[in-house]
């Protein structure tokens, strides 16, 4: 048999080409018996000129909406690019198309909600926490969804997250193990829940080793490399200079290191830096940054797996925490014990 087409499907089914076209385009005007006969042939003969036949057979769109907040900073963009790679790669393997969208303002009145409805999306993935209004609207239309990088313990939705408190603890503890006792902190108060978890990890390591806290060394106004640069300038303007700085994000560390360099400090000989995330830039800055590897690709892949499980009514877990304690030792930390 030659290449299967609409004409040959019509001959095999004993119907008109119009009837086959109606079925492929999900139009009315064909009996259920005829529709089933055509779809059976399509499935048996593996006729896939496009995804329409699969969508019709399973009555699904195989579209997934991936939603980012419109105000995501540079730090989050670099971090989330790896997560998105994981999402898209896993989605492709499972036969889904991913539609990238931005969320801005009220979800109820947004074009995004209408697009999700009009495209008959099978599910939605959100990068960052969602509010109660968004949850209400999603639940109202009964669409599965997953939240990635959630900072809140919300039992209402399925989520994939990283243990940032553990990451911050391990990164700070590594500085202490290298002999540092005067350690500053640069974090993101712009994201309160993340700030609290990362600071708690830093504080736990400091407290366990009975080290002192210096108020001038706790800087929370960083959200990108420029603001982190300014936070580091504040630290270096204090009466006493730390021997090390823990930064709650690689981009923050890169900005802080740039400031220290510009002010005449040698890294890591005068000041050491450690961080969390392990984005690509951490390996290419100078010096190369010691950081905690967050399994970002794994977060994206797991989100797709959990969403697919919801779609197929076989979900067995609602919260998944990725590995968050693997330290990548590079060149930004001096070992004072040597």
CATH of domain 164-294: 3.40.50.2300
Residue 67: predicted pLDDT? 92
How far is 222 from 187, CA to CA, in rounded Å?
A: 6
Confidence band (pLDDT; 50, 70, 90) for 152? confident
Pick the CATH number of 6-58 from 3.40.50.2300, 2.60.40.2550, 3.20.20.10, 1.10.260.40: 1.10.260.40
Q: Residue 323: pLDDT above 60?
A: yes
Confidence band (pLDDT; 50, 70, 90) for 1? very low
CA-nearest of 273, 84, 97 to 178 is: 273
Residue 148: predicted pLDDT? 95
Under 8 Å between Cβ of 135 and 147: no
Residues of the chain with CATH 1.10.260.40: 6-58
Residue 194: predicted pLDDT? 92
Q: What is the CA radius of gyration of the chain?
A: 26
E strand or H helix at 285, and its extent?
Answer: none
Alpha helices in the chain (DSSP H): 6-13, 17-24, 32-44, 52-58, 74-93, 111-118, 132-140, 164-177, 192-208, 225-236, 250-262, 281-284, 296-311
Please give the structure tokens belonging to residue 245.
């700085």
- For residue range 48-72, list pLDDT tens digits in order: 655 555 565 556 788 999 998 876 6
The vertex-154 CA angle with 152 and 108, nearest 5°, equals 95
pTM: 0.81
Q: Residue 321: pLDDT above 80?
A: yes
CATH of domain 63-163+296-322: 3.40.50.2300
Residue 128: predicted pLDDT? 84
Under 8 Å between Cβ of 324 and 167: yes
| DSSP for 105-160, written as a single string | S-STTSHHHHHHHHTT-SEEEEES---HHHHHHHHHTT--EEEES--S--TTSEEE
Task: Read off the pLDDT of each residue in 66-94 and give the average, rounded to a whole number.
Answer: 83
- Percent of the chain, pLDDT > 90? 62
What is the residue-averaged pLDDT of the chain? 89
Residues of the chain with CATH 3.40.50.2300: 63-163+296-322, 164-294
Under 8 Å between Cβ of 9 and 38: yes
- When comparing pLDDT for 268 and 16, which is higher? 268
* Distance, C-alpha 17 to centroid of its chain: 46
Under 8 Å between Cβ of 75 and 135: no
How far is 242 from 253, CA to CA, in rounded Å?
A: 15
Task: Read off the pLDDT of each residue in 221-230 and give the average, rounded to a whole number.
Answer: 95
Q: How many CA atoms lie within 13 A of 127 on its CB side?
A: 28
Distances (CA, A) of 303 to 135, 151, 318: 17, 15, 10
């Amino acid at each position: 048999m030659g290449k299967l087409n609409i004409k040959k499907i019509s001959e095999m089914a004993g119907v008109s080409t119009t009837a086959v076209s109606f079925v492929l385009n999900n139009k009315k005007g064909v009996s259920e018996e005829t529709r089933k006969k055509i779809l059976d042939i399509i499935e048996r003969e593996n006729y896939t000129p496009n995804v329409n036949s699969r969508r019709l057979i399973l009555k699904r769109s195989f579209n997934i909406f991936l939603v980012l907040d419109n105000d995501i900073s540079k730090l989050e963009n670099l971090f989330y690019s790896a997560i998105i790679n994981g999402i898209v790669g896993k989605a492709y393997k499972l036969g889904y198309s991913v539609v990238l969208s931005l969320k801005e303002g009220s979800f109820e009145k947004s074009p995004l909600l209408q697009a999700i409805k009009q495209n008959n999306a099978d599910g939605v993935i959100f990068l960052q926490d969602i509010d109660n209004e968004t949850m209400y609207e999603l639940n109202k239309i009964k669409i599965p969804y997953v939240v990635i990088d959630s900072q809140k313990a919300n039992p209402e939705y399925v989520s994939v997250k990283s243990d940032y408190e553990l990451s911050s603890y391990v990164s700070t503890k590594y500085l202490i193990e290298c002999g540092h006792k005067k350690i500053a902190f640069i974090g993101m108060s712009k994201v309160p829940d993340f700030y609290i978890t990362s600071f708690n990890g830093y504080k736990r390591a400091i407290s366990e080793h009975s080290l002192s806290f210096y108020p001038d060394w706790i800087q929370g106004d960083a959200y990108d490399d420029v603001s982190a640069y300014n936070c580091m300038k504040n630290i270096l303007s204090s009466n006493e200079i730390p021997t090390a700085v823990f930064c709650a994000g690689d981009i923050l560390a890169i900005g802080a290191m740039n400031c220290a360099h510009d002010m005449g400090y040698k890294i890591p000989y005068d000041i050491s830096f450690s961080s969390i995330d392990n984005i690509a830039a951490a390996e290419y800055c100078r010096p190369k940054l010691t950081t905690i590897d967050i399994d970002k690709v794994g977060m994206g892949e797991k989100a797709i797996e959990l969403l697919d499980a919801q779609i197929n009514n076989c979900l067995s877990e609602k919260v998944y925490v990725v590995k968050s304690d693997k330290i990548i030792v590079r060149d930004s930390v001096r070992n004072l014990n040597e």
